[in-house]
Amino acid sequence: MPSSTMQMLAFILALLGVLGATVATLLPNWKVSADVGSNIMTAISQMQGLWMDCTWYSTGVFSCTLKYSVLSLPAYLQTARTTMVLSCMMATLGLCLAALGLKCTHWGGSHRSKGHTALAAGACFVIAGVLCLVPASWFTNEVITTFMDSKVPKSSKYEPGGAVYVAFVSAGFFLAGGVIFCLSCPRNRNGPLDSGSSHPDKLLRQVANDRHKQKQHREQQSQTEPQEHCLKSFVCPTFNKTNESNTLVTSHFCPKI
C-alpha cells in the first residue's frame, strides 16, 4: 500500500478519534446505576460523568447537576478531566500537523519537511491515545473495584457507562493513526529522513550545478589557450630612432609572455 494511502487512512482514524474523545469527554454516562424503586418518583437510573451527574426518573424527567467544586472530586475523576482535555488538544494539534505532512497535498514544504511534520503528527496522536487510555482504564478500575466491594450497598454500585467504551475506542484510533503516520515515513539507513526534495529545490540545485560547470569550463579554457592568441591580441608599441647614418628606423617592442 502506498505511503500516501496509509497517511490518508491514519488521518481518517485520527479524525474519528478526535470526535470520539470529544464526545466521551462531554457525555455524562461514565458510570451508570440502575435501581428501580417502589415509588413512582424514585430514580430508575443515575449517571455520573466528568462534569455533571444526571438522574433519570420513572416519570420521564431527566435532571442534571454540574460539578462545580474541583477539590471535592476524587483523584481519579480530576485526573480523567485533565487527561481527556489534554488528549483532545494534542489530537487537534496532530490533525493540523497531519494536514501539512500529507504527501498528497501541495502545502507543507519539501518532502523532507513533510516527513518531519508527519512524524510530529504521529507522535501527537500517540500521546493523545495514551492520555485518553489512562483515564478510561483508571475510571473503569475504580468502578469495578467499588462494584466488587461487599461493603458498598447495592443502591450505590455503578457499572461502566457508554462514555468509557467510547474513550477506549478513541484511544485505539489515536494509537493506530499515530503508528501508521510514523511508519509512513521510514528513515534511510545511509541518510536522513526522505532525502528527496521538491521540484523547486531540484531546479535551484540544477541551476547552481550548471553555473559551477560553466565556471570550471571557463577556467580550463583560459589555462589551455595558446600564447599566440595573446600575442595577436596584444598591440606592440612602436619606437622611432635614428641610427649612425641619420636614417629613421622603426622598431616594435613586444614583451615576452
Kind and range of the H or E run holding 254: none
189-233: pLDDT as tens digits: 444 444 444 445 555 677 777 777 777 777 776 666 554 444 444
Residue with cell 451508570: 32
159-160 and 62-66 strand pairing: unpaired
Contacting residues for 129 by C-beta, under 8 A, at least 6 apart? 17, 87, 171, 172, 173, 174, 175, 178
| Whole-angstrom Cα Rg for the chain | 39
How large is the average pLDDT for residues 151-175?
89
Mean pLDDT value across the chain: 77
Q: Are 45 and 56 in contact (CB under 8 A)?
A: yes
Sign of the alpha-carbon torsion through 191, 193, 199, 203: negative
How large is the average pLDDT for residues 146-170?
87
Residue 1 has pLDDT above 60, yes or no: no
Contacting residues for 167 by C-beta, under 8 A, at least 6 apart? 20, 21, 24, 84, 132, 133, 135, 136
Question: 118-122, 146-150, 252-256: lowest mean pLDDT where?
Answer: 252-256
Return the C-alpha cell found at 223: 589555462
Q: What is the pLDDT of residue 244?
A: 53
Q: What is the pLDDT of residue 249?
A: 47
25 pLDDT band, cuts 50/70/90, is very high
Residue 130 has pLDDT above 70, yes or no: yes
Whether residue 57 is contained in a domain is answered as no
Residue 18 has pLDDT above 50, yes or no: yes
Q: What is the pLDDT of residue 185?
A: 66
Whether residue 178 is contained in a domain is answered as yes
5 pLDDT band, cuts 50/70/90, is confident
Amino acid at 235: V
- The residue among 14, 180, 181, 3 whose CA lies nearest residue 95 is 14
Q: Are 186 and 122 in contact (CB under 8 A)?
A: no
What are the helix and strand counts (H, E) for the chain? 6, 7
How large is the average pLDDT for residues 137-142?
92
How large is the average pLDDT for residues 63-91?
90
Its domain, for residue 81, covers: 4-28+74-187
Whether residue 174 is contained in a domain is answered as yes
3-state secondary structure of 50: coil
How large is the average pLDDT for residues 46-61?
84
How large is the average pLDDT for residues 26-54?
75
Whether residue 167 is contained in a domain is answered as yes
Return the C-alpha cell found at 249: 628606423
- The residue among 121, 117, 104, 96 whose CA lies nearest residue 177 is 121
CATH number at residue 10: 1.20.140.150
Q: What share of the chain is helix, strand, coil (3-state, %, to 5)?
A: 55, 15, 30
Burial of residue 87 (CB within 10 Å: 0-12, 13-18, 19+) is buried
Whether residue 148 is contained in a domain is answered as yes
Whether residue 98 is contained in a domain is answered as yes
Kind and range of the H or E run holding 184: none
Residue 172 has pLDDT above 90, yes or no: yes
> How far apart are alpha carbons 136 and 142 in whole angstroms?
10
Return the C-alpha cell found at 136: 478510561
Q: Are 69 and 59 in contact (CB under 8 A)?
A: no
Question: 3-7, 30-34, 179-183, 192-196: lowest mean pLDDT where?
Answer: 192-196
Whether residue 8 is contained in a domain is answered as yes
Contacting residues for 227 by C-beta, under 8 A, at least 6 apart? 257
Instruction: Enter the DSSP assignment of 155.
Output: G
Q: How many domains does the chain have?
A: 1
Whether residue 251 is contained in a domain is answered as no
